[in-house]
Amino acid sequence: MREHAMSEKPNLPSKTKVALLLVAIALAAYIGVYVRVYFFGP
Amino acid sequence: MSMQTFKEWFFTTDHKRIGIMYLIGSMTAFVVAGMMALLIRLEQSQLGPTITDNPNEYNQWLYFHGAAMVLAFLIPGLTGFFANYFLPLMIGAQDVAFPRINAFSIWLFYGAIILALLSFVIPDPPDIMWTGYPPYSITTMGNTAYYVFTLHLLGFSSVLGAVNFLVTVIYMRAPGIGWNQLNIFTWTTVAAFVLQLVFIPVLASAVTMLLFDKYLGTNFFNPEAGGDVLLYQNLFWFYSHPAVYVIFLPAVGILFEIFTTMCKNRVFNYKACVYGGVWGIVGISGFVWVHHLYVSGMPDWLRIGQMVTTLLISVPVGLMVMSMWGTLYKAAITFNTGMLYAISCLFLVLSGGLTGIPLALTAITVHLSETSFVHAHFHFIMAMFSAFAMFGGIYYWFPKMFGRYADGKWATTGFILNIVGVHVTFIPLFIIGAQGMPRRYWDYQMFPQFEPYHQVATLGAFMVAAGMSVTILNWIVCAFKGKVAPENPWKSCSLEWTHAPNCPQAGNFPNPPTVTADWSPYGYADREANLKATTDPGFPGAAKPAE
């Protein structure tokens, strides 16, 4: 089990992975609008 | 300023310096956008052309005032300055999770501010309000691309900030701080960043399609070629209504910090406030946008459904407001300038909230839509409520940032001018709005009976201008020459006061704190036990010089 420096929460994924997950959520929202308009029209 | 100092600030990754830069940038936007408000009020103070005979010029003032106040003052002020400076201190962190990305965010923000200011000198400035509605925005001679690019910069900056601060709160809390031990400001800021992360990209794609329509020949929003202008309005408000909560929530968080400290009291109904209030707002916020479009030809099922959700959101808002009043109950209140602003917010939210009810009801809003009643309403509930909370927060945390007080007679004078001025400005606009005064009009020759009301409103706007001039000058003078404040002058229990010295250096804490489950940022009932629940219990420890 990997030690975490600040918060002592060893089971959490790394900061970078969580940040990338959050970026993916934002990108999904961004692309989702185009997908919605492309497939279902205005 | 020497080159060395400039470099230190320009290339800084310290969250506090970045916070101060957000403060300077957002206050610059506030001042310029405030000047636009004065021009707007002057133009309306008399029938016929008053200071310009060019309606397009008036439209540009409206554009800059709205866009800069919302996107460059309120949102960056609350989620940029306050979150950057105070959130890491409150959770006992030494910086944010990604300091370099934080620095990148501020560069993007300043890029957008510079672009926005340059709109005064480019030959074809945007004239599309802050909403950018098509078809006008895709046919105007104004520079719609400029608007879109500025929004993209601000949006990208905000999304990066959201990622950074959400990871910071998840990972960087001082050891021992559980979720139910977070400051309300931390909760509200987390909620605001969740909204930013999910909803900003929707606006970004909407304005990108606008760009494609105007310059690349697509027809997403062009009704002549099968496009739909309502699609843009839906997408725009799908972001921009939650944006109201991006502003409202951190503002409420600031009020809680002031109330608890000045009342030496716990938060009344903490869990109901956080899980019902803060997250209730987040949960419903994505289902209320249609109340901006009641008269735009929405189907009845959508209008009625979102009328219900719009009324429903008053429940979580009410939970938070009740928690604020409950926190004041039976407290020995310290009335300083920060507290005066905070208490005034309780009445601003009441006026703004109650005038929102008729606007939420589809049958009544048909008569009020696009009148100055609407703009008086949102100035109360969003603009003034949040701006007053920010000003209160600046007074409250002033000793933390600069080691000096900003309270005094000039601070009180500014407050009185501001609170009286906003009421003198907007109450007449409520009255004539209910009687049919259209909003956004350059002239109102068809309604000569409203001229006296406009003159009173203009007088009020100049009172606010005087109040804000006094307030901002007072801050600048007090930052350098104000009365020196001791550590923790308000005797708060929150970590940024108990464990970080005034004007904290990089790293924030001489002794990074650790807390136990018994600690609370609002542990005023037994202050001594609360301090013992930290690793550095005696406050004088926090007064040690930073290493």
Q: Which residues of B71-84 are buried (b: 16+ CB within 10 A; e: fewer)?
A: bbbbbbbbbbbbbb
Residues 6+ apart with CB under 8 A from B18: B12, B84, B102, B103, B105, B106
- Judge whether A6 lies within some domain: no
Q: Retrieve residue B513's tokens.
A: 């704190």
* Assigned domain for A25 exists: yes
Peptide bond into B135 cis (omega under 30): yes
- pTM comes to 0.93
Q: Which residue has the tokens 């501001």?
A: B418
**Who's near B539: CB < 8 A, 6+ residues apart?**
B487, B488, B498, B531
> What is the domain count for chain A?
1
Does any domain span residue A41?
Answer: yes
Whether residue A5 is contained in a domain is answered as no
Q: Fill in the amino acid letter for B32.
A: V
CA-based nearest residue in chain B for residue A38: B220
Asked if A42's CB is within 8 angstroms of B227's CB, the reply is yes
**A7 within some domain:** no
Sequence-ordered list of residues with C-beta below 8 angstroms from that of B1, at least 6 positions apart, any chain: none
- Supply the pLDDT for residue B398: 97
Q: What angle do CA B147, B150, B153 make, to 5 degrees?
A: 150
Two tokens, residue B4: 């060395």
| Contacting residues for B493 by C-beta, under 8 A, at least 6 apart | B261, B520, B521, B522, B523, B524, B527, B530, B531
User: With an 8 Å Cβ cutoff, are B167 and A18 in contact?
Assistant: yes
Residues in B closer than 8 angstroms to A31, CB to CB, are: 205
Each residue's pLDDT, cut to its tens digit, for chain B (547 residues) gives 688 888 888 899 999 999 999 999 999 999 999 999 999 999 999 999 999 999 989 988 998 899 899 989 999 999 999 999 999 999 999 999 999 999 999 999 999 989 988 988 898 888 888 899 999 999 999 899 999 999 999 999 999 999 999 999 999 999 999 999 999 999 999 999 999 999 999 999 999 999 999 999 999 998 888 899 999 999 999 999 999 999 999 999 999 999 999 999 999 999 999 999 999 999 999 999 999 999 988 888 999 999 999 999 999 999 999 999 999 999 999 999 999 999 999 999 999 999 999 999 999 999 999 999 999 999 999 999 999 999 999 999 999 999 999 999 999 999 999 999 999 999 999 999 999 999 989 999 999 999 999 999 999 999 999 999 999 999 999 999 999 999 999 999 999 999 999 999 988 988 888 999 999 999 999 888 888 888 765 454 444 433 3
**Rounded distance between C-alpha atoms, residue B514 and residue B491, angstroms:** 20
d(CA B253, CA B276): 14
Say whether B197 and A7 touch across the interface (CB within 8 A).
Answer: no
B152, B164, B149: which is closest to B118 by C-alpha?
B149
B18, B89, B274, B400, B501 from B14: Cα distances, Å? 6, 12, 29, 16, 16
Nearest beta carbon to residue A29 from set B175, B201, B226: B201
pLDDT value at position B450?
Answer: 97
- Residue B245 and residue B281 in contact, taking contact as beta carbons nearer than 8 Å: yes
Out of A12, A15, A22, name the one closest to residue B197 (CB).
A22
E strand residue ranges, B60-162: none
Q: Who contacts B297 (Cβ-Cβ below 8 Å, separation ≥6)?
A: B230
B371 forms bridges with which residues in the sheet? B438
* Chain B residues with beta carbon closer than 8 angstroms to that of A29: 198-199, 201-202
Cβ–Cβ below 8 Å for B205 and A34: yes
In this complex, do A37 and B220 lie within 8 Å of one another by their Cβ atoms? yes
- The H or E element spanning position B171 is helix B144-171
What is the Cβ-side half-sphere exposure of residue B177, based on CA atoms within 13 angstroms?
28
Every domain of chain B and the residues it spans = 11-543
Q: Supply the DSSP symbol for A16.
A: H
Q: What is the structure's pLDDT at B2?
A: 84
Task: Supply the range of the domain harboring residue A19.
Answer: 13-42
- pLDDT value at residue B534: 86
Residues 6 or more apart whose Cβ sits within 8 Å of residue B114: none
Q: Is B330 left (phi over 0), alpha (psi -120 to 50) or beta?
A: left
The rounded distance, in Å, linking the Cα atoms of B253 and B267 is 11
Q: Which residues of B touch chain A, with CB atoms under 8 Å apart?
A: 93, 97-98, 159, 162-164, 166-167, 170-175, 197-202, 204-206, 209, 220-221, 226-228, 231, 235
Whether residue A4 is contained in a domain is answered as no
> What letter represents residue B356's amino acid?
G
Cβ neighbours of A2 in B, within 8 Å: none
Looking at residue B547, its pLDDT comes to 37
Beta carbons of B167 and A25 less than 8 Å apart = no
- Distance CA(B276)–CA(B312), nearest Å, equals 12
Residues on chain B touching A27 (C-beta within 8 angstroms): 201
Q: Which of B159, B171, B206 sits opposite A6 (nearest CB)?
A: B171
- Mention every residue, 6+ apart, whose C-beta is less than 8 A from residue B512: B92, B94, B174
Report in angstroms the alpha-carbon separations of B323 from B68, B276, B381, B494.
32, 11, 18, 18
- Determine the distance in angstroms separating the CA of B113 from the nearest CA of chain A, rounded to an integer: 23
Half-sphere exposure of B249 (CA within 13 A, CB side): 32
Please tell me which residue of chain B has the smallest CA distance to A16. Answer: B167
Instruction: Tell the residue number behind the tokens 């923000």, with chain if given.
Output: B109
User: CA-to-CA distance for B159 and B142, rounded, in angstroms?
Assistant: 28
Residues of chain B positioned with their CB less than 8 A from the CB of A26 = 159, 162-163, 197-198, 200-201
Indicate the residue type of B92.
G
pLDDT at residue B532, as a whole number: 85
Q: Quick one: DSSP state of residue B181?
A: G
- pLDDT bin (cut points 50, 70, 90) of residue A5 is very low
- The fold of B11-543 is Cytochrome C Oxidase; Chain A (1.20.210)
pLDDT for residue A42: 67
